[in-house]
A and B are shown apart, each in its own frame.
Chain A
């Protein structure tokens, strides 16, 4: 720990974070393709070399195996980030050092130290599921956000695999679970992602479903009933109370990632809806402050692509279309570009959201996809499966990293042939997106990659209290 200055990866503002050094390593969670059951193979954390001057550029340089099988590592985050500079609870001499990695199936949480050797991180602590349930009442931990006063983690359900899901806190120093975050949850029942407008003391959470609706795959009869999540929830962070429910409508199913503007003076953000029951389209919605309340409206719609029945997996045959399945989105630190990844069609879309109410499409690329199986330019003859899924943008906004697996049980439904894991890189240039031909990481057949975290922070980890 340095005495005279904060961790150099803490930035007071998003603007300063964009001027920071280029990322050299990525940490990517990889789940065992068979769930670990039959083979006993555990999930892992891959360390990927991102330094173009290095001989190992675009390869996995280290593999950290989980000690037990069946965790389903999914989303994860840092113990501390730029929010440590927030003036009401400043702790600038914490370090961005530990990755907090929950198993979304096992409800076990690993704490991984990246400091001694960033290229060879090590597990230093485990929080067992029993302890998590006892302390918080929650299971299936998902999103990890480093808050100014502790580590916030969302969880999909309770000890019985039902709801409500919610948010719990980990202590910043000991990583012990402190308890359930909500004091008054109002009508909120489903959980998934969350983030905040830190200078407004507002937290926004989204809805996927409770564990029994998710863990054996998407349940078509539940989906047709519109039973999955369809709303955002607005919370008062200080009072930990529910303020408002933003209902997107009965056709909208599964409201996933939330991406508030990084500039703390702005009071809007974007969220993605996976599926419309009306026409299988995906959509992006903009929430924004409207007087004393919050409002939400649709700003982007991505249509489904018609397809012959024989080219579709059983789940989709009767619809004769490939839904785009917008499953992740990411906003550049200057709040200018929004990146959407459509796991069904394999499309990565770049929108200019300088005017958040009127996004303009700038460019798009394809990789994988249910029907197209679009190839990477590094080997144009080789069709790829899975599709653009988890997307992470570099701090300077110039590089967009992608992986292709969603969630094991759902992978099998949409890509029944089995997903071969890959990670790709697109450069965001003046004229739009372009694939990096030298960067294409093929994961071992035993594993599939999910979320990516960039060394020193990225566009979905840090929150800034200064503009």
Chain B
């Protein structure tokens, strides 16, 4: 049960990231409308998930590599510091990204998702799950790199499923008026989630 928990966390966080319109599904909906076909949504979400996966994967590798020459409590404190920084940024000073426009090729979407995820500290949010996995999964020894990457993969699957679901539901069923009624201020929620992740790392390093 406790072994599965970090993996469930990684998956759940992926779903949470997928839910955020700023992470991509909204872009996919717009492209679907622009090209007037559902296929465009599948292609876009595929590209976005790739970019998201690369960003999260890079953060995970960084975390894993740091474990090779830093004691775990240093990593926990360092990661928590980063998380608090990102969290406060998104709570207090959300800014406009300016990386692409609307007329994009798929590889630009990959880059966009990569940059969006990185700027939002999406990979960082996974650190408590990684920390937990190395603790309860491996009995205190270091987490194998395969497991770390598996965590990123599980996370991406969660992201992909929710983002695709959101995009298709809005495109096919509820329509654009959904955006007027139910668009939560996810910057606030996101900043809070980052701070919670920092808290988790500090409490259970």
Contacts and interface: CB of A to CB of B under 8 A. Distances in A.
A166 interface: no
A89 B184 contact: no
Interface string A368-391: 000000000000000000000000
Interface stretch (B60-68, B93-101, B129-137): B93-101
Contacts of A88: 27, 97, 99-102, 104, 112
B100 A11 contact: no
B96 A5 contact: no
Given A4-B184, A90-B21, A90-B26, A85 B98 contact: no
B180 interface: yes
Nearest to A465: B30
Interface in A439-467: 465-467
A11 B34 contact: no
A199 B33 CA distance: 11
Contact of A5 (B22, B94, B176, B183): B183
Interface string B166-205: 0000000000110111111101100000000000000000
A237 B99 CA distance: 11
A5 B179 CA distance: 8
Contacts of B30: 86-87, 199, 465-466
A263 to B, nearest CB: 10
B181 A148 contact: no
Nearest to B31: A87
Contacts of B33: 265, 466-467
B176 A12 contact: yes
Given A87-B21, A88-B27, A201 B180 contact: no
B182 A4 contact: yes
A286 to B, nearest CB: 21
Contacts of A466: 29-30, 33, 176, 179
A149 B96 contact: yes
Nearest to A91: B96
A135 interface: no
A150 interface: yes
Interface of A: 1-6, 8, 10-13, 16, 85-93, 148-150, 172-173, 198-201, 237-238, 264-265, 465-467
A16 B180 contact: yes
Contacts of A4: 182-185
A172 B95 CA distance: 9
B103 interface: yes
Interface string B18-36: 0001100011011001101
Given A4-B182, A201-B102, A238-B101, A16 B177 contact: yes
B96 A148 contact: yes
A91 B102 contact: no
B26 A6 contact: no
Given A89-B98, A198-B102, 4 more contacts: A12-B176, A13-B176, A148-B96, A264-B102
A198 B34 CA distance: 11
5 contacts: A88-B27, A88-B97, A91-B96, A149-B96, A467-B34
Given A88-B102, A265-B36, A1 B185 contact: yes
A341 B176 CA distance: 34
Nearest to A92: B183
Contacts of A150: 96
Contacts of B100: 88, 238
Given A87-B30, A264-B34, A466-B33, A5 B98 contact: no
Q: Which of B34, B99, B102 counts the most chain A CB atoms within 10 A?
A: B102
A85 B97 contact: no
A10 B77 CA distance: 41
